[in-house]
């Protein structure tokens, strides 16, 4: 096991009717900005519940944060907060709204050019406004971590930052708030959390027994409930398990003390930035190709994955590995998520541009051993066609 | 899944040579009291490392905290802190020293009779001195939770309290500091953490998929490494895994959103208080008897335990359940930990006294359904003879 620090001070308030408890968690004297995305938070009643819970408190609202939240939109929220001297943020939405709120929280407290926060990957963040979240879409884990991904529309750049200053103070997770989600978003969430786990698990054996067992348990659970959570939108137990699993998939726990990959995410981000394809859908395309191209480096863990997650015991090592990757693809496809670039009519002629983007963003030594250069990324994209 | 709140702000600093980082985590201006137990922390060099890491800082030392830490000893530490105006505590040791430090932290900040903290189970705790820990004995999980068990020598009472004010600010876990532990204590630690997991897992099916998988993964890992961690005291990977597993066994995570039992602990506490038998050893005696006596109430989870943890698939339900309990006993015995009261020459004539103690401490409705009255506890003790 590698040395590690684990620290996660976010309070999770989980279950039915928990939005009503918001006033216990938002400081009484706070001047709050409620940030949300499109119209769904209004339509499904979540915003109304939030307003009711904060009745009598000082708050304003800021809607319109996009999927893949943009710097341009978020800087308007920063202006509002400065102008009206607001001092607490409440994100109501999914990972995009929460990621955006993290950026806003850091940007309000930063005196330089706020884009520095992204280009330094958070190193320049010395403080942030406190904030909580009300999660409506299980997927990214942003509700219980200190990372964020922001897009700059003008330059089509999609960059990540992290800082211990942007852990949510609390996150309210009410599984019933997910009942009205579009099934496409639920399927995306299943794939997103699945790949989050794989980025922290499918590297090389590092002797983290609890980390491996936890990761395998989360993967097994997602495989068990994935199709059901889509087929039965108002099944509380399914949605509750999905919601908690998606949070646990990326709250620092399963990645503590073990190597992490994240190359699939980095390549996927470029596909989203260039073609505006849903984040999770880019991961479903890149991951199987990544596992095939990096089979030798990942052999030990691929065999463990085949055995413990997919219960594959027969055949040669290579057969078991290929079967496990094929099962992974079939799982994604069973959720109506394609696993090939061609499904999005992206062909071989697109690869040069994507590689140039990776190069421009310094993504030239990716993966758990930093051995994925642009040449390997090219082979991954070719294998994903 | 049940509604829950999960909050755990303790920072874990894990790995080789991490004691040297103490100065990063103890506030620079702190006037620290270092609390420890017997002579082992001195002999194995841990205290010397702590002193070196805090060189130039203001600190004092308080040794002599007992296994099953006593109110009487701890109140002397409280006096020292008040007299010398100390404002930060650093526990160096195992669960007893950390539990004792939690009590001291709360008692210093409490103006009434400090024994109230135990009789109210922590409800009267409104503040506590901040503290960190350097863990030397993996077992209780106290390094990453807000609970504590204290004994009053005079009255032979052993009572628990918990409060969000007594989470450690940080805990340093260096697996190499466990190399010199007596093997008896290591074996106790394996059993203690095993039973912690069982108290949160082996109840009734409640639909917590991640919680079940995590618990099962920790149990499987302990079964895999238990005998080896004793046979190979200086195997870093074994000790590191054991240390992290013992922490995860009782940091609130696997018990969030699911029922919890704790009857085995409550009965075990009375055996320790009356006969001074190591805490873990009382658990090894009580747990198998508890599972047999409560077989019907726990049937669903016992079958899951048999299948997923012990890989038992053959025979009738009752046969699989009995086999799983027998495997559990054999696992404890393989660590040289007896599973019968008779091993401690405690006979049937002792039971009346133990039941009277349970009654005196209000332990009359134990377990996940609060249905274990004194009559059931009596049958458990009889089955453990």
Query: Would you kindly state where each structural domain of chain B is located, as residue ranges?
Result: 11-177, 183-383
Angle at B108 between CA B105 and CA B110, to 5 degrees: 110
For residues A259-281, one letter each, b for 16 or more C-beta atoms within 10 angstroms of the residue's C-beta and e for the rest, the string is: bebbbbbbbbbbbbbbbebbbbb
Crossing angle of helices A279-293 and A374-383, in 10° steps, is 110
For B343-385, give the DSSP string. Answer: GGT--GGGHHHHHHHHHHTT-SSBTTTT-B-HHHHHHHHHHT-
CATH of domain A11-177: 3.40.50.1970
Q: Answer yes or no: do A9 and B9 touch at CB < 8 A.
A: yes
Chain A residues near any Cβ of chain B (below 8 Å): 1-16, 18, 207-210, 212-214, 216-218, 220-221, 224-225, 237, 240-241, 244-245, 248, 253, 256-257
Cα–Cα distance measured from residue B370 to residue B201, given in angstroms and rounded to the nearest whole number? 16
* Per-residue pLDDT reduced to its tens digit, B339-364: 999 999 999 999 999 999 999 989 99
Distances (CA, A) of B44 to A313, A369, B50, B175, B222: 46, 36, 12, 13, 25
Distance CA B234, CA A124 (A): 41
Burial of B279 (0-12, 13-18, 19+ CB in 10 A): buried
- Those residues of chain B whose CB sits closer than 8 Å to some CB in chain A are 1-18, 207-210, 212-214, 216-218, 220-221, 224-225, 237, 240-241, 244-245, 248, 253, 256-257
Pick the CATH number of B183-383 from 2.20.28.270, 1.20.1050.10, 1.20.1090.10, 3.30.420.40: 1.20.1090.10
Question: How remote is the C-alpha of A292 from its chain's centroid?
Answer: 23
Chain A residue numbers touching B220 (CB-CB < 8 A): 213
Residues 6+ away with beta carbon under 8 Å from B314: B320
Distance CA B241, CA A209 (A): 6
Quote the crossing angle between the two packed helices B374-383 and B279-293, to the nearest 10°. 110
Burial A183-200 (b: 16+ CB within 10 A, else e): eebbbbbbbbbbbbbbbb
Nearest-by-Cβ selection for A207 from B214, B217, B241: B241
Give every CB contact of residue B118 below 8 A, 6+ residues apart in sequence: B71, B150, B152, B157, B159, B160, B161
Mind listing the pLDDT tens digit of every residue in chain A (385 residues)? 999 999 999 999 999 999 999 999 999 999 999 999 988 889 889 999 999 999 999 999 999 999 889 999 999 999 999 999 999 999 999 999 999 999 999 999 999 999 999 999 999 999 999 999 999 999 999 999 999 999 998 887 888 999 999 999 999 999 999 999 999 999 999 999 999 999 999 999 999 999 999 999 999 999 999 999 999 999 999 999 999 999 999 999 999 999 999 999 999 999 998 999 999 999 999 999 999 999 999 999 999 999 999 999 999 999 999 999 999 999 999 999 999 999 999 999 999 999 999 999 899 999 999 999 999 999 999 999 9
B16 CB contacts (<8 Å, ≥6 apart)? A3, B174, B175, B176, B236
Query: What is the predicted ipTM?
Result: 0.96
* Pairing assessment for the beta strands A4-14 and A170-173 based on DSSP bridges: parallel
Coil, helix or strand for B277? coil
3-state secondary structure of A164: helix
A68, A137, B98 from A41: Cα distances, Å = 17, 11, 45
CB B196 within 8 A of CB B245: no
Task: Give the 3-state secondary structure of residue A297.
Answer: coil
pLDDT score of B146: 98
Helix (H, G, I), strand (E, B) or coil at A213: helix
What is the spatial distance between Cα A36 and Cα A100, in angstroms, rounded to a whole number? 9
Pairwise CB contact (< 8 Å): A1 & B237? yes
């Amino acid at each position: 096991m590698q040395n590690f620090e684990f620290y996660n001070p976010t309070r999770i308030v989980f279950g039915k009717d928990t939005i009503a408890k918001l006033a216990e968690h938002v400081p009484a004297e706070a001047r709050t900005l409620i940030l949300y995305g499109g119209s769904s938070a209004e339509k499904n009643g979540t915003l109304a519940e939030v307003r009711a819970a904060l009745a009598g408190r000082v708050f304003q609202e800021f809607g319109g944060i996009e999927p893949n939240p943009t710097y341009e939109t978020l800087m308007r929220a920063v202006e509002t907060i400065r102008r009206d001297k607001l001092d607490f943020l409440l994100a109501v939405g999914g990972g995009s709204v929460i990621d955006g709120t993290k950026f806003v929280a850091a940007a309000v407290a930063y005196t330089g050019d706020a884009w520095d926060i992204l280009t330094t990957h958070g190193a320049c963040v010395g403080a942030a406004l406190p904030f909580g979240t009300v999660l409506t879409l299980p997927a990214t884990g942003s509700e219980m971590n200190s990372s964020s991904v922001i897009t700059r529309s003008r330059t089509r750049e999609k960059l990540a930052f992290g800082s211990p200053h942007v852990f949510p103070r609390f996150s309210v997770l009410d599984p019933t708030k997910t009942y009205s989600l579009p099934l496409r978003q639920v399927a995306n969430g299943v794939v997103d959390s699945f790949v989050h786990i794989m980025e922290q698990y499918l590297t090389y054996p590092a002797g983290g027994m609890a980390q491996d067992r936890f990761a395998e348990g989360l993967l097994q659970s997602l495989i068990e409930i994935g199709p059901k959570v889509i087929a039965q939108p108002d099944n509380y137990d399914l949605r509750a398990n999905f919601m908690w699993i998606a949070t646990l998939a990326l709250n620092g726990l399963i990645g503590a003390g073990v190597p992490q990959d994240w190359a699939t995410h980095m390549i996927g981000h470029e596909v989203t930035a260039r073609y505006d394809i849903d984040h999770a859908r880019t991961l479903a395309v890149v991951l199987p190709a990544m596992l095939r191209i990096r089979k030798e480096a990942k052999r030990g863990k691929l065999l463990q994955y085949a055995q413990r997650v997919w219960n594959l015991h027969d055949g040669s090592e290579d057969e078991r590995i290929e079967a496990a990757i094929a099962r992974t693809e079939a799982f994604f496809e069973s959720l109506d998520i394609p696993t090939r670039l061609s499904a999005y009519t992206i062909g071989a002629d697109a690869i040069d541009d994507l590689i140039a983007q990776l190069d421009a963003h310094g993504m030239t030594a990716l993966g758990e051993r930093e051995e994925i250069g642009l040449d390997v990324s090219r082979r991954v994209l070719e294998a994903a066609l």
